[in-house]
Structure 1
Amino acid sequence: MKNGGFTMIKVSIIGAGPGGLAVGLLLAARGHEVDIFEKDDRVGGRSQAVTLGRYHFDLGPTFLMQVDVLRAVFAAADLALEDYVKLIPVEPLYDLIFKDNVFRPSRYRDKTHTELERLFPGELDHYERFMRDEATRYNKIAPLMQRPFEHWYDYFKPDALKALPHIVPFRSVHGKLKRYFEDANLIHAMSFQSKYLGMSAWKAPGFFTMLSYLEHAYGLYHVQGGLNKINDALADAIRALGGRIHLNTPVAQLLTQKRTVTGLQLENGETYPADCVVANADFAYFAHNLLDETLKIPHAPRKLHTMRYAISTYMMYLGLDKRYDLPHHTFVFADNYAQSVKTMTEKNTLDTDITVYVHNPSLIDNTLAPPGHSALYILVPVPNNDSQINWESYKITFKATILKRIEEKLGIYDIEQHIIEEKIMTPLDWEKNHHVYKGAVFNLSHTFSQLFYFRPHNAYRSLKHLFLVGGGTHPGSGLASIYQSAIITANLIDPK
């Protein structure tokens, strides 16, 4: 381990989310003693399974991209991802429904070309230039996402210096794309991925245009049974290697001695000594509730309010006794998308002109709903709990607003009549039930002041033997980034 030179160590991991499970597998495969403590009755964290009667859903993420990162986690344990889960390519990538047209980009370049020529005459050459340029940029920037940033001088390492001209620090995603495309809808189609970071394309750093590039270049995947099955696969592999996962076991606090973490204490009073602790809990929640205020660390509870946080989501999980032939991913854009996004992210209020995401995986996966039925997942980006919206009184009214929007744009008028099972999640629920600080489901905002060296470090710099994994540390949010953070953190603990 970096801070002590142990050969075989006892590792305690707080949280069985994707990051905690991935780092647990990597360390168990290297022969370490791994214990994972999870407050819920199942693994997965905010990407866990939701079961409503005979209908099955993912609680959170539904987009799987950069599959090679996840393959690398399994391969490091001498395992093959495809032996554990069935990957299903998504085609087309998604339906993007604008006020005056519908764009269906594809994992196949020729099909996307046809769509571009149909909807955006004159933009095909611009698209190809963007894809060529972005491939170059990604190859330069990707190495920075694959290693830790522990010191300010990490910015002067050769890979960082090579990447610097491609990072465009003073240009937003939207501003960068305006240099390629003329049509506003096409710009939105290539920039809405900023919401995967919980940000506005008008504020997200320009190098995050790599998200749309990665989707178009390498495609998206569904996992049979839902993306939550990846968590089950990781958990099964950990147990097979002798690791232990303790469900329904919330952690109360870290144990420290002279600014060194020595273990953790559970809410039931039990203590677990450990050579190192890895925190996979929501970072701000963890810092607010499990770190001692008297330690005077950079992220002490009193300092958390100065950090910037991402937006939240309003979720509907609907079990329906009717089959709906909607695409796997559908985005219904607000009529005035720019104004809607800015109202939410800059004014911290809701606009009645909303963007709605509908996920219909049961069309290609018959394990999620009974025959002739659908398991619909509906998401609307909304402000986090700094907005002070009273979701307890507003959530039913907002549900009606969403269903009306679906009626208007998708021509589906009977969803309400076919609901058999239903679950609604608001930002308040994310915070109260899933310990997501401010309900900011995409974690800390991805501004330059909170990226790379300025994001909480994978090896937490103020407490020895404390490590972080997940969306709140480097490289950031999104499943692929979280799996990458697990690789980084495991290599800091044990550089094998």
Structure 2
Amino acid sequence: MTAPLRHPLPLDDPRPHAVVIGAGFGGLAAAIRLGARGYRVTVVERLDQPGGRARVFRQDGFTFDAGPTIITAPFLFDDLWELCGRRRADDVRLEALDPFYRLCFHDGSTLDCTGDPERMRDNVARLAPSDAAGYERFMARSQEICRIGFEQLGHVPFGSFLDMVRIAPDLIRLSGHRSVHHLVSRYVRDERLRVALSFHPLFVGGNPFTASAIYGLIAHLERRWGVHFAHGGTGRLVAGLVDLIRGQGGQVLLSADVQRITVEGGRATGVVLAGGEALRADVVVSNADVAWTYGRLLPEGSARRWRPAKLKRASWSMSLFVWYFGTDRRYDEVPHHTILLGPRYRGLLDDIFRRKVLAEDFSLYLHRPTATDPSLAPAGHDAFYVLSPVPNLAGGADWGALAEDYRARIAAHLEATVMPGLGRHIVTSRVMTPDHFRDELNAPHGAAFSLEPVLTQSAWFRPHNRSEDVANLYLVGAGTHPGAGLPGVLSSARILDEIVPHAHATQT
């Protein structure tokens, strides 16, 4: 028997009801799109704040975004505000960054990546003069891949294998069966430039040596729409989306842990929360990880294509070690985004993705949001996080024993390179390990980006946005098509416009 709902829904609202599991960006965007299509929406989130991987940590006067900090394709956010008859710019200020980020190579050379084609061409020519023409040819290819892979197909559901067959000629022509690194290496020879043009799959949990060359589109995606930062932090976008949902008459329930999706006659009919409370629904959308949805939330036997045994054999993305810290001085010479590359590229990625061992060396992404928005730290202070890609927990690492030593090694490296005197100026600190992704976000093996983005786990081969096994169940987020990253998860919600019936159709 299920208990009555502690958070009663309006009894006088006649709209069909949609329940969205999870308040990550995919779930929040799905809720807004369903609200615009006539549904009364309830978002249920197990954590005590919305955002999922984009939750916010506040301590000692500092504000830290837990997860995504690089915002590309901002029009996907603008679309959500427009669906509600509002302007995103009235609620959230996005600032275009220039440069996007600075790459610091192990030999001491640097490359500032910018959206200005002429300046970027000059920067490349200074780093690798003989590759300037090859860089231009690569960017032309990236533009073509982006036009097809993102603009034409990023919001198209791959519900049938015929959908995959139709794009096969383009996929082969664009070298989609090859890796991003293979594609880049056809155009440039300088190893540093090969790194600079091929590392982008790491933004979505992929290995540049195995991720499909389709991810070569990211270079043009950044050039065309820019890299942005939300003033107040990425959490401001989360808060803005929650406000849109409430403005549509929907609600977001926090600390509401879904225990199971109810299924009757092969159709999803709602959810049951940890306290036994039941929410009936005409449509259920899961923003939980696909393995959690199919392996833990559905009744046993409901999942046939994505059985737990199949998901156990799947290849999962890498995980992340993230250190959040604040300093009592400003480091104005450090740009908003810095990528510090270690002495190895292929070898380190092999350790992370294939061998799943924690290497002695590392490459780092350093985020300094106070370079753009000083309000995220006390006056005269700086807020940072530094992120290191690490193996997921299938490698067996004991992060309870490893975390402090790993943090100290990262701190020593930052102090020796771009942040002199760092150890004397740290005034607040916290770490997030792969255990966090497993325990708080229900991510298999602590994988930070769900399924690894390889060709055999992409498009039709990825769990579909409309469940193949349970009617009225839909999936959004990193584990479904088109994949991880803010453009990916927002596009997964956009796909719902194509596959979820309009609310009035459920009443006929």
TM range (shorter): over 0.9
CA distance in 2, matches of 1:146, 1:155: 14
Task: Indicate whether 1:309 and 2:311 are aligned.
Answer: no
CA distance in 2, matches of 1:58, 1:150: 34
Amino acid at match of 2:114: S
Q: What residue number does 2:291 align with? A: 284
1:357-383 Cα distance to aligned partner (Å, 9 max, x none) = 110010110220011101111100000
Q: What residue number does 1:481 align with? A: 488
Q: What residue number does 2:179 align with? A: 172
Q: What residue number does 1:3 align with? A: none
Unaligned 5+ runs, structure 2: 1-13, 504-508
State the shift of 1:440 in Å: 0.4
Task: Indicate whether 1:34 and 2:41 are aligned.
Answer: yes
Task: Indicate whether 1:72 and 2:107 are aligned.
Answer: no
Q: What residue number does 2:5 align with? A: none
CA distance in 1, matches of 2:363, 2:397: 18
Q: What residue number does 1:391 align with? A: 399
Aligned length: 487
Preserved contact between residue 291 and residue 300 of structure 1 (Cα < 8 Å)? no
Amino acid at match of 1:145: G
Amino acid at match of 1:393: A
CA distance in 2, matches of 1:337, 1:383: 15
Instruction: Provide the secondary structure at the position in 2 that maps to 1:147.
Output: coil
Task: Indicate whether 1:21 and 2:28 are aligned.
Answer: yes
Equivalent residues in 2 for 1:374-453, closer than 5 Å: 374-410=382-418, 412-453=419-460
State the shift of 1:233 in Å: 0.6
CA distance in 1, matches of 2:118, 2:182: 27
Q: How much identity, in percent, do the aligned residues show?
A: 31
Amino acid at match of 1:340: L
Instruction: Provide the secondary structure at the position in 1 that maps to 2:438.
Output: helix
CA distance in 2, matches of 1:327, 1:278: 39
Q: What residue number does 1:266 align with? A: 273
Q: What residue number does 2:4 align with? A: none
Unaligned 5+ runs, structure 1: 1-6
CA distance in 1, matches of 2:140, 2:328: 46
Are residues 115 and 38 of structure 1, via their aligned partners in 2, closer, same or farther at CA, if it must alter by over 3 Å?
A: same
Amino acid at match of 1:345: F
Task: Indicate whether 1:123 and 2:120 are aligned.
Answer: no
Preserved contact between residue 141 and residue 166 of structure 1 (Cα < 8 Å)? no
Preserved contact between residue 139 and residue 219 of structure 2 (Cα < 8 Å)? no
- Taking only aligned residues, the RMSD between alpha carbons, in angstroms, comes to 1.6
Preserved contact between residue 140 and residue 162 of structure 1 (Cα < 8 Å)? no
Q: What residue number does 1:90 align with? A: 97
Preserved contact between residue 370 and residue 377 of structure 2 (Cα < 8 Å)? yes
1:385-427 Cα distance to aligned partner (Å, 9 max, x none) = 00110100110110111112212332x2422322222110000
CA distance in 2, matches of 1:364, 1:166: 41
1:135-188 Cα distance to aligned partner (Å, 9 max, x none) = 12221223121110001111244xx26633444233110011011001000010
CA distance in 1, matches of 2:444, 2:235: 22
Q: What residue number does 1:333 align with? A: 341
Amino acid at match of 2:162: Y
The counterpart of 1:114, out of the listed 119, 122, 126, is: 122
Amino acid at match of 1:125: A
Task: Indicate whether 1:198 and 2:202 are aligned.
Answer: no
The counterpart of 2:147, out of the listed 139, 159, 172, is: 139
Preserved contact between residue 428 and residue 439 of structure 1 (Cα < 8 Å)? yes
The counterpart of 2:475, out of the listed 468, 479, 490, is: 468
Are residues 440 and 229 of structure 1, via their aligned partners in 2, closer, same or farther at CA, if it must alter by over 3 Å?
A: same
Preserved contact between residue 14 and residue 37 of structure 1 (Cα < 8 Å)? yes
After superposing the two structures, state which structure 1 stretch, 116-125 or 458-467, moved more: 116-125
Q: What residue number does 1:151 align with? A: 160
Q: What residue number does 2:112 align with? A: 104
State the shift of 1:487 in Å: 0.9
State the shift of 1:495 in Å: 5.3
Q: What residue number does 2:501 align with? A: 494
